[in-house]
Structure 1
Amino acid sequence: MMNFSMHLRLFLRSFFLQTGWNYVKFQNLGLTYIMMPFLTRLYAQDKEALPAVTTRYLDTFNTQPVMASFCIGALAKKEEAVAQAKSVTDFKERVAEWIGARRGLSITAASIGDRLFWGTLKPLTLLLAIFIWLCLGVNFFEIELLENPLPLDAFCAGAAAFFVYNSVALFVRWEGITIGYNSDEKTCFGLTKFDWNKTIYNAKRLGMVLAAGLMLFGVYYYFKNLALDLHFITRAILVLFFVIISFLTRKLKVPNMYLYLAAVIIFNIACYL
């Protein structure tokens, strides 16, 4: 069933998962649209069963759009097992397994995808683009930049950074279908074949390095010609003090509200003096 032609059709349709998104059952319409070519071919000899099968797919479904490819592959494999049931009891057991796979896999894939694609790769791509532009002489800290067009070479180089996100997303969309289809519950339908936590960890550390570099560049740019006085040094020390204290209060599980109130009072006194 899962030949190249079907794989390609499911892959292309996966971009429309969010189509028909609703507050009642979320991505159920998009999932049903994606799976229809597969279901139509699978039940070509039993078209009377297709309405009931489609109803199952119209139930609640919600996951991260890119990671949904693992769900698509796994549900296709499970649906083949349902279609091959030999008895009513066997059919009910396989449907129950299908429902469990859909529910559990969608939650797991959403957790990984939210942290990887939306919480890590998208911000990292933006930081990478800004860093590339700064290296090419496009200084975002200059107001005059708003009045002059961005050089074409700098624009193309910065825009190329966004292919980092797109290349990873397209790879996961394509391979996830195959991996999910060829795997089983023991590997969480292929999700455990990748060290997602390590990937997220390394990407976040890279993002922190780029963000720290941009912050240092900004501090240098704004204060390179500034004469430091006692007021500036005092306020800088206060900022550093509260940053350090925030880490301590987090470990001691002290409510941040008290820290915020103390910071507001002390900064107001410092500004008044």
Structure 2
Amino acid sequence: MITNILIFLIAMLAGMESVLDAWGFNQPIIAASLIGIVTGHPVEGLMLGGSLQLVTLGWMNVGAAMAPDAALAAVAAGILVTGPTQLPVMQGIALAIPLAVAGQMLTIFVRTLMVSFTHMADAYAAKGQARKIEILHFTGLFIQGLRVAIPAMLILALPAETITQAINAIPSVITNGLQVAGGFIVIVGYAMVVNMMASKTLWPYLFLGFGLSAITSLNLTAMGIIGAAIALIIVQLTKFNTTEVEEQASMVPEDQIDQPLLTKSDQLHTFFRQGFLLGSFNYERMQNMGVAYIMMPTLRRLYKDQPDEFAAGLKRHLEFFNTHPYLAAPIIGVTMAMEEQKAKGAPIDNATISSVKVGMMGPVAGVGDPLYWGTLRPVIGALAASFAAQGSMIGPILFFVAWNIIRLATLWFGQKFGYQQGTNIGMNLSGGLMQKVTQGASIMGMFMMGVLVPRWTTMNFPLVISKIKNDPRNVISMDSVNNVLQSNHLTGDDIVKLSQQLTSGKVFGNFQVTTLNDVFNQLIPGLMPLLSLFIVIWLLRKNVSPITIIFGIFAIGILGYAVGIFGV
């Protein structure tokens, strides 16, 4: 009984973390290891978690796009491997993939359900009922936990044969089609970020990033350095028009700027809340309830005796918001400072606060997604998984400690930096600092989005376009090659002879097959992901909701796999 309760709690924690993307309890290396510990089979749990961590290195949630759910996969596979059924680790890994796809469907359902919550929050905000918004926010997070905990309990209650039969009963065209769609559903997230930043001056950086990524093998770290260098050069060469903002800055009384209203306690409370930004993520206004929840300590301090202003502040922060959850910290810091200056009487209206938030969230998302999801987490995860796969506890401990040092430092210092710059908003506006930061982040963000499109989007087109029979005189016999290899008598002369045959035009195989993949790659490597990006941007600008696009991609994946256009 105690074991089952602990498994339930771990599953709840993993489910909530799968939407929060904070402490890392949703990562297989931690979730599966914890399951193994409470079931009394830590080594098997570690080995499973390490192996699954390597499988899921490229899985990341970007914008509204959800990756397959590593949390449900790790918890469910962990129970099957370390629980009463004692499945082999390799079989657990094989079952984890369809379980991850099932989890992906469940979290999309919950995020769709959260749309109704955000409308309820609007009604509460109009009355200044912040506590009820907090309850809504955490109810959404609790439901995400149940999304993993309930399947975990069902797996504990059912025989392994029943579970395996149920999974195998799903037609392969469905499971493989969903796996195909999972390879390029991330395009929706990229499109949302690009659409927020898009301007005539920034499109060239998207194409530059795409071109370098498609034709070179440079890793994301190198690409990030190139993007940062380009952004710095352009910012230094750009002259900013600061006449208008200088006039706005002069309207802020100097004696008010130097008198902070927010205390250190307010800043700490805000920092602690930042880890819950994504708790009630929904497909209409994304992170809006999370932002309102984070801003409540600030609003309570500034407008504690002004209920109308407090209610207006809640409504102001329930507007659309979506960015990287860690690099939201400097935006939150700037917003805190602007609210403070507004409370002091500075000429800052609702539109100004909203425009600053909207102007910053796209660029920082463009930087944060490739930096944290695409570089830091895979690097730390791969290193930690190498220990865990050998049954060492060093793996999950290393991942947990390293990841959270980076995450917490980003949140605290990001918020602190944003607040400091926002407090000096008049000076920073008049000096063009905010414009410089926004332009630099936009350039680097657009460049990195271009880099990610061909790198992290998987689209396989195995459809055969042509199949030409090769001249038998030009075909190298595989039987003769295999005979030499099996006899262990391969010599240097054999290698030279084979090389000469290949350079003279001879080929392996009786047929020369050209697939749709070959055609696209001959034109431009990564062409289809790029075209898909622009199709999704076009749909977003036609006011098609992200969730509709996501379900459309699932349908395309299934149908495309069924007719043979797409392959796993």
TM over 0.5: yes
Contact 1:126 1:162 in 2 (8 A): no
Residue of structure 1 aligned with 2:328, choices 68, 75, 83: 68
Map 1:93-108 to 2 at 5 A. Answer: 94-108=349-363
Mapped partners of 1:78, 1:169: distance in 2: 25
Distance 1:255 1:122, change over 3 A: closer
Matched, 1:120 2:375: yes
Offset, 1:181: 0.6
CA distance in 2, matches of 1:108, 1:5: 29
1:47 counterpart letter in structure 2: P
Question: What is the match of residue 168 of structure 1?
Answer: 406
Q: 1:4 to 1:193 in 2, by over 3 A?
A: farther
Q: CA deviation at 1:251?
A: 7.3
Distance in 2 between the 1:255 and 1:72 partners? Answer: 33
How many equivalent pairs are there? 202
Q: For each residue in 1:180-229, what CA deviation from the matched residue of structure 2 results, as whole angstroms up to 9, or x when unmatched?
A: 011145444978999xx7xxx9xxxxxxxxxxxxxxxxxxxxxxxx8577
Distance 1:249 1:188 in 2: 41
Deviation, 1:119, is: 1.2
| 2:288–2:317 CA contact under 8 A, matched in 1 | yes
Partner amino acid, structure 1, of 2:416: T
- 1:6 pairs with 2:266: yes
CA separation of 1:4 and 1:85: change in aligned 2, threshold 3 A:
closer
Is the 1:125–1:162 Cα contact (8 Å) retained in structure 2? no
2:333/2:418 contact within 8 Å kept: yes
The alpha-carbon distance between structure 1 residues 247 and 45, as it changes in their structure 2 partners (threshold 3 A), is same
Superposed, 1:193-272 pairs within 5 Å as: 250=524
- Aligned twin of 2:317: 57
**CA offset digits 1:245-264 (Å, max 9, x no partner):** x99864797999xxxxxxxx
SS at match of 2:345: coil
Deviation at 1:164, TM superposition (A): 2.3
The CA distance in 2 between the partners of 1:68 and 1:21, in whole Å, is 14
1:99 Cα deviation after fit: 1.5
Matched, 1:180 2:418: yes
| Conserved? CA contact 2:386–2:395, under 8 Å | no
Tell me what 2:97 maps to. Answer: none
CA distance in 1: counterparts of 2:356 and 2:366, whole angstroms: 15
TM-score by length of 1: 0.60
Distance 2:528 2:278 in 1: 41
In the TM superposition, residue 4 of structure 1 has moved relative to its aligned partner by: 2.2
Structure 2 residue runs without a partner (length 5+): 1-260, 422-427, 449-484, 491-497, 499-507, 510-519, 531-568
Tell me: CA distance 1:180–1:133, structure 2 relative to 1, closer, same or farther (3 Å).
Answer: same
Q: Which has the higher contact order (CA 8 A, sep 6+)?
A: 2
1:167-187 deviation line (CA, Å, top 9, x unaligned): 111100111111001114544
After superposition, give the CA deviation of every residue in 1:40-61 in whole Å (9 maximum; x if it has no partner): 1111232221112211111111
Which residue number in structure 1 is paired with residue 253 of structure 2? none
Inter-partner Cα distance in structure 1 for 2:394 and 2:313: 47
For structure 1, the residue ranges without an aligned partner over 5 or more in a row are 139-149, 202-225, 236-245, 257-273
Pairs within 5 Å for 1:78-97: 78-85=338-345, 90-91=347-348, 94-97=349-352
Which amino acid is the alignment partner of residue 19 of structure 1? Answer: G
In structure 1, distance between residues paired with 2:401 and 2:362 = 27
Q: Which moved more, 1:247-256 or 1:159-168?
A: 247-256
Once residues 296 and 529 of structure 2 are traced to their aligned partners in structure 1, the CA distance between those partners, rounded to angstroms, is 51
Amino acid at match of 1:4: K
Q: Check whether the contact 1:249–1:255 (CA below 8 A) recurs between aligned residues.
A: no
Summarize the Cα distance change of 1:104–1:133 in structure 2 as closer, same or farther, 3 Å threshold: same
Q: 1:9 Cα shift?
A: 0.2
In structure 2, the partner of 1:261 is none
In 2, are the aligned partners of 1:125 and 1:164 still within 8 Å (CA)? yes
The CA deviation at 1:69 is: 0.8
Change (3 A) 1:98 1:255: closer
Equivalent in the alignment of 1:130: 385
The percentage of counterpart residues that share the same residue type is 29
Residue 364 of structure 2 corresponds to 109
Q: Using the alignment, how far apart are the partners of 1:65 and 1:85 within structure 2?
A: 30
| TM-score scaled by length of structure 2 | 0.31
Question: Distance in 2 between the 1:181 and 1:100 partners?
Answer: 17
Aligned to 1:155: 393
CA distance in 1, matches of 2:408, 2:366: 19
Could you tell me how far apart the structure 1 residues matched to 2:287 and 2:526 are?
41
> In the alignment, is the contact (CA less than 8 A) between 1:14 and 1:34 conserved in 2?
yes
Letter in 1 for 2:272: L
